[in-house]
Amino acid sequence: MSESTATPAPAPSDFIRDIVATHVAEQRYAKIVTRFPPEPNGYLHIGHAKSICLNFGIARENHGQCNLRFDDTNPVKEDVEYVDSITTDVRWLIAGWADHCLGYKPKGAHPAKTTVNGQPDYYLGPVDPSTLSSQLSTGSASAEPFFASDYFDQLYEYALTLIRKGKAYVCDLTPEDTDKYRGAPDRPGQDSPFRTRSVAENLDLFQRMKAGEFPNGARSLRSKIDMASPNMWLRDPLLYRIRHVPHHHAGDKWCIYPLYDYAHCLSDYVEGVTHSVCTLEFVDHRALYDWVLESLDLPRALPHQYEFAKLTLGYTLVSKRKLLTLVNEQVVTGWDDPRMPTLSGLRRRGIPASALRRFVTSVGVTKFDSLTDIAVFEHAVRDELNQVAARRLAVLKPVRIVLSNIPAGEVIEVDATNNPQSDTPTTRKVALTREVFIEADDFAEVPPPKYFRLKPGGEVRLKYACIIKCDELVRDAAGQITEIRCTADLTTRTGGVNVDKKVKGTIHWVSATHCLDAEVRLYDRLFTVPEPAAEEDFLKVVNPKSLEVVTAKLELSLAATKPEDRYQFERLGYFALDKDSPKSGSPLVFNRTITLRDNWAK
């Protein structure tokens, strides 16, 4: 069922939501706060959609909030370009669904120093979500997403605290030696020779690291945990590295930058996050997440990390590197090519955000690495579009029919239903004339068995119009069919005496004189195998027929199509205007979002 219908879908349930529900029941937190923490170093894809819907879903189901936070601790890989695209994609995906849970902070705000239970503390809360949406829609922009880089000052203070507690030290090992000392999964590491430095020396060295006295990689700040731990992430993992580069958000203030494991848990804490939900590859990091937080004796409730399996979709690739290759090798036209699994690509293809949400909800949340059948995704898209898309007549590969008993110049207006799924369907007028186009596939001179469509001597209904009979094929000297001559039985029109006459087939059509030319881009899956990621060379399994461009004939009403409109071209599939389209004077450009199901598999 569509989200727009009266019966709302039941709230999803999964092991993480169960945990949250327990915490709500025991009133462990004043408010449930989650976060979506992308690094601004690439475009969001369908896998991120699962994480976004989980985090925002938990927030909206519990009257909570979900912060959009950029995990921007590595300036050498990041760029504001991605901050903008990610922000756009997130807001598109949650629009009309969880906007009221979106955690944004006052523009330019940094954590405030407060006192909690007599202890110093840092906290950065969101702007009032009820005022946020109006701010965003008016573009007054007094709010913005959270940024981990806004906490660099506090993170530095916390690092000093760790040093004073003897829980962190400055290490002079080279990156190569650090690796060697770390040991291997089945072999313990060795203590760094710098592990026993005094607190005073560590303090001095760390401050000088910050002051820029040392070159990149010369020293690092490390946690002091256990070099023999069976968990590799507890073998004195690095907290800070030296990088003499400016930061896209923090400017040129810093030459030391915190690492993920150190910055993430503290960012969660500073924002008051309660449930930090991430993917399975971070399970081993959870011990470190907890270690950092617990080592600091923080005065407020600590956030906790929970992990789920990321989405893997059949016939789809989401690897940043491989997607980049597709763009660079011009296999696709860009990151928002409608064949790409990026949110911008899916959006351009015409897939509604609501369909994406419904899809990721339907696959569930577990700790099992699974491969989701692309059919589940396609079903969600079709199901959603079937509810909302207006029907239109369009012919992709036209063949000319002459209705010999209709005089040239005569226009018969017929009523066509806009959406049969609607409780109160409306209609529009479509012109029927002497010459019409039908789909090339809908005529067969030598029909296969059980062929319901037009064939020599056969009858078929032109949808919304009347039944026609194929009388004659006109050929040129070479024997090629140049014209299909039919007679129209006007008594079978709506309201006609023979309206109830049955024929096996009903086909779509467009008047040859009252129509519109349009470029229509027919997309198919980008890869020919279910698991392109498992391929030694994924470029070899790119579907050579993933795009076919045709010049189609459309009914006239389509001239008024707006970018957000979704149409079903009857018997063909769902289509949406491409962003290339609104160029004045040039024909409209439509993208095929997805075909209709076809049970008449040839």
Partner RNA sequence: UGCCUGAUGGUGUAAUGGUAGCACAGGUGACUUUGACUCACCUAGUCAUGGUUCGAAUCCAUGUCGGGCAGCCA
Q: Which stretch binds RNA (CB under 7 A): 206-214, 449-457, 543-551, 575-583?
A: 449-457
Q: Cα separation of 53 and 364, whole Å? A: 11
Among 464, 509, 527, 575, binds RNA (CB under 7 A): 464
Among 4, 22, 131, 366, binds RNA (CB under 7 A): 366
Residues 351 and 380 sit within 8 Å (Cβ to Cβ): no
We find the least distance from the C-beta atom of residue 236 to RNA, in angstroms, to be 10
Residues 115 and 121 sit within 8 Å (Cβ to Cβ): yes
**Residue with smaller CB distance to RNA, 99 or 373:** 373
**DSSP structure string for 152-191:** HHHHHHHHHHHHHTTSEEEE---HHHHHHHH-BTTB----
**What are the φ/ψ torsions at residue 517 (nearest 5 degrees)?**
-85, 145
Q: Cα separation of 524 and 514, whole Å? A: 30
Asked if residue 182 binds RNA (CB under 7 A), the reply is: yes
Residues in the chain: 602
Indicate the DSSP class of residue 567.
E
Q: Cα separation of 47 and 312, whole Å? A: 7
Q: 54: Cβ–Cβ under 8 A, 6 or more apart, which residues?
A: 16, 277, 308, 360, 365
Asked if residue 260 binds RNA (CB under 7 A), the reply is: yes
We find the least distance from the C-beta atom of residue 241 to RNA, in angstroms, to be 3
> Which residue from 221, 68, 75 is spatially nearest to 155, judged by alpha carbons?
221
Asked if residue 71 binds RNA (CB under 7 A), the reply is: yes
Asked if residue 309 binds RNA (CB under 7 A), the reply is: yes
We find the least distance from the C-beta atom of residue 185 to RNA, in angstroms, to be 3
User: Which parts of 31-50 interact with RNA (CB under 7 A)?
Assistant: 37, 39
We find the least distance from the C-beta atom of residue 568 to RNA, in angstroms, to be 6
Q: Let me know the angle formed at the C-alpha of 490 by 484 and 494, rounded to the nearest 5 degrees.
A: 120
Among 285, 304, 392, 434, binds RNA (CB under 7 A): 285
User: Which parts of 568-587 interact with RNA (CB under 7 A)?
Assistant: 568, 570-571
3-state secondary structure of 404: coil
User: Which parts of 224-243 interact with RNA (CB under 7 A)?
Assistant: 230-233, 237-238, 241-242
Asked if residue 421 binds RNA (CB under 7 A), the reply is: yes
Read off the amino acid at residue 437. F
Among 55, 74, 87, 342, binds RNA (CB under 7 A): 74
Q: 527: Cβ–Cβ under 8 A, 6 or more apart, which residues?
A: 315, 316, 317, 538, 541, 542, 543
Q: Which stretch binds RNA (CB under 7 A): 46-54, 109-117, 545-553, 590-598?
A: 590-598
Among 21, 203, 227, 280, binds RNA (CB under 7 A): 280
Q: Cα separation of 169 and 197, whole Å? A: 7
String of contacts with RNA for each residue 158-177, x by CB under 7 A: -------------x-xxx--
Helices (H), 212-274: 260-271
Asked if residue 358 binds RNA (CB under 7 A), the reply is: no
Asked if residue 178 binds RNA (CB under 7 A), the reply is: yes
Residue 213 corresponds to which tokens in the numbers above? 């006295």
Q: Which stretch binds RNA (CB under 7 A): 52-60, 178-186, 334-342, 397-405?
A: 178-186
**DSSP structure string for 529-565:** SS-GGGSS-GGGGB-TTSEEEEEEEEEGGGGG--TT-
User: Which parts of 493-522 interact with RNA (CB under 7 A)?
Assistant: 493-494, 499, 502, 505-508
3-state secondary structure of 277: strand
3-state secondary structure of 378: helix
Residues 243 and 216 sit within 8 Å (Cβ to Cβ): yes
**Residue with smaller CB distance to RNA, 175 or 193:** 175
- Token look-up 């990390």 returns 305
Q: Which stretch binds RNA (CB under 7 A): 70-78, 350-358, 400-408, 537-545?
A: 70-78
Residue 16 corresponds to which tokens in the numbers above? 């993480």
**Residue with smaller CB distance to RNA, 364 or 587:** 364
**Residue with smaller CB distance to RNA, 113 or 367:** 367
Asked if residue 135 binds RNA (CB under 7 A), the reply is: no
Longest dimension (CA), the chain: 101
Q: Which stretch binds RNA (CB under 7 A): 9-17, 92-100, 130-138, 580-588?
A: 9-17
User: Which parts of 374-413 interact with RNA (CB under 7 A)?
Assistant: 375-376, 378-379, 382-383, 386, 391
Asked if residue 445 binds RNA (CB under 7 A), the reply is: no
**Residue with smaller CB distance to RNA, 32 or 313:** 313
User: Which parts of 81-100 interact with RNA (CB under 7 A)?
Assistant: none
We find the least distance from the C-beta atom of residue 260 to RNA, in angstroms, to be 3
